Every structure is written in structure tokens, then in C-alpha cells.
Amino acid sequence: KAGVTQTPRYLIKTRGQQVTLSCSPISGHRSVSWYQQTPGQGLQFLFEYFSETQRNKGNFPGRFSGRQFSNSRSEMNVSTLELGDSALYLCASSLVPGQGTGELFFGEGSRLTVL
Amino acid sequence: DQQVKQNSPSLSVQEGRISILNCDYTNSMFDYFLWYKKYPAEGPTFLISISSIKDKNEDGRFTVFLNKSAKHLSLHIVPSQPGDSAVYFCAASPNYGGATNKLIFGTGTLLAVQP
């Protein structure tokens, strides 16, 4: 079956702009979480959604927001982009939160470059 | 405050030898630990996990050891193969008293297996 799909794969924005990233989880998966990967920082947790509700939020400013739709697809938005927002944004899904051993299924990510 | 630390940014081993990747954590409330592998331009993929009630878990060539008193875990790959060359992330699942997909990741170790 299809894996986690993220769009767009690559995008370039300028400072001050806003961006919306999309994630379609594996069919049947209802839990979606987002992570930011930057060099030297590893993966940092952004948000977690289940049944259209945000369950957890990481330590990021309010410029970072997200939502989940009734079909479990999720979007995240970053407003007033800063140079430091350049990163790989990864979406991960699972059937339900904390499924099994905590294994998450990741998409290939959206590479955002802010100029 | 880095709660999960991978102090070796890179590791190089010869094909057929053992690879040992290390990870330290600071939060004694973590109840599950996972290792993910990431190839360039791909999302992380789950490799192996271990519950805090165990001290060892094996899956084929991969074994994870957990030393709770030292707050240390390690991933052993025996024998190492060139296809194992990737970035390995250690991750911990915090015990919030409820299911969550929030994982705390280390910064990763780049493993290079030389033929």
C-alpha cells in the first residue's frame, strides 16, 4: 500500500512569506505527527494530531501551526518565514497514537529553503 | 536541553565487522527507545526498539542494549554491510501516562561501512 505522501517535496521561499505543507498518511492511519530536521539538531517534534485534534505541541513559536482533516490528511503552516526555518519537514503516521512500540512511518519530507 | 544525545556524529567500520552506535539520555521517565535509519532523500525508517523493562532486544543482525542505571543504550550491527551506511537516529518515547507519537530524537550518527 502507498506510504506517507508529502507535498511539495522541495520549495524555496523568501523571508516574511508563509508556506503550507501537506501530508497524506498511510491509508487507515489516523495519527499524524510532524518533525523538523535541521543539521546538528536531529529531528524535533512539532505537533501531533489524532481525530482532527492536536494532542501535543513541541517547543516552536506560534508561527508554526497545523491541522488535520476528517480524512486524516494534515497540513502545517509556517507564517512570516525566517532564515532559520530552512529545514526538512517530516510527516509521520501511525494507526493510533502510541501504536505498538512507538514505531512511526515517515514520509520523504518537504525540503524548505528560506532565502 | 538535549534529552537524547548521540555524541558521535560519525562512525566508520569495515564490512563484516561490528558497528556499535551509542546513545545517552537524561530523562528517567522515558519508557521506550527506538532506532531509526535514514538514507539521503528518504524519510527515516524504523529499525528496532526496546522497552525500558528489558535490557536487550535482537532482530537479525541488529541488537539493542539498554543500561537503565547508566541511562545508555547502544545499537550493535553484526556483521556490518555496505548497505547499512546511513544516518542512525536514537529516539525515546516519554511516558506521559497516555499514548503519544511524540518522540525525542538524538542528533544522529552517520555510519559508513567500507567495503
For A2-51, what is each residue's pLDDT tens digit? 799 999 999 999 999 999 999 999 999 999 999 999 987 889 999 999 99
Residue that wins the pLDDT comparison between B14 and B28: B14
Q: B40 to chain A: which residues are within 8 Å by CB?
A: none
Give me the mean pLDDT over the B86-103 stretch.
81
- Distance in angstroms (rounded) separating the CA atoms of residues B1 and B22: 19
The H or E element spanning position A76 is: strand A74-78
Q: A92 to chain B: which residues are within 8 Å by CB?
A: 43, 101
Side-chain-side CA neighbours of A81 within 13 Å: the count stands at 19
Give me the mean pLDDT over the A94-104 stretch.
73
For residue A11, what pLDDT is reported?
96
Among B60, B111, B58, B41, residue whose Cα is nearest residue B83: B111
For residue A13, what pLDDT is reported?
97
Give me the mean pLDDT over the B93-107 stretch.
77
pLDDT at residue B100 is higher than 90: no
Residue that wins the pLDDT comparison between A97 and A48: A48
Distance from CA of A22 to the nearest CA of B (A): 15
3-state helix vs strand vs coil in chain A, percent to 5: 5, 50, 45
Average of per-residue pLDDT values in chain B:
92
Average of per-residue pLDDT values in chain A:
92
For residue B62, what pLDDT is reported?
98
Out of A42, A48, A107, the one facing B100 most closely (by C-beta) is: A48
pLDDT at residue B94 is higher than 90: no
- Distance in angstroms (rounded) separating the CA atoms of residues B105 and B67: 18
Out of B42, B46, B100, the one facing A103 most closely (by C-beta) is: B46
Q: Which residue has the cell 522541495?
A: A10
Burial class (CB in 10 A: 0-12, 13-18, 19+), B94: middle
For residue B98, what pLDDT is reported?
59
C-alpha cell, A2: 502507498
In this complex, is the C-beta atom of A55 within 8 Å of any C-beta atom belonging to chain B?
A: yes
For residue A41, what pLDDT is reported?
81
List pLDDT tens digits, range B32-78. Answer: 899 999 998 899 999 999 988 899 999 999 999 999 999 999 999 99
Among B10, B39, B40, residue whose Cα is nearest residue B22: B10
Q: B42 to chain A: which residues are within 8 Å by CB?
A: 108
What is the percentage of chain B residues whose pLDDT exceeds 90? 78
**Cα A49 from chain centroid?**
10
- Distance in angstroms (rounded) separating the CA atoms of residues B86 and B11: 10
Residue that wins the pLDDT comparison between A100 and A81: A81
For residue B29, what pLDDT is reported?
85
Q: Which residue has the cell 506510504?
A: A3
For residue A54, what pLDDT is reported?
92
Taking an 8 Å cut-off on Cβ atoms, the answer to whether B105 and A42 are in contact is yes
In this complex, is the C-beta atom of A87 within 8 Å of any C-beta atom belonging to chain B?
A: no
What are the CA-CA distances from residue B30 to residues B9, B26, B99 (Å)?
Answer: 23, 9, 13
Give me the mean pLDDT over the A80-89 stretch.
96
In this complex, is the C-beta atom of A46 within 8 Å of any C-beta atom belonging to chain B?
A: no
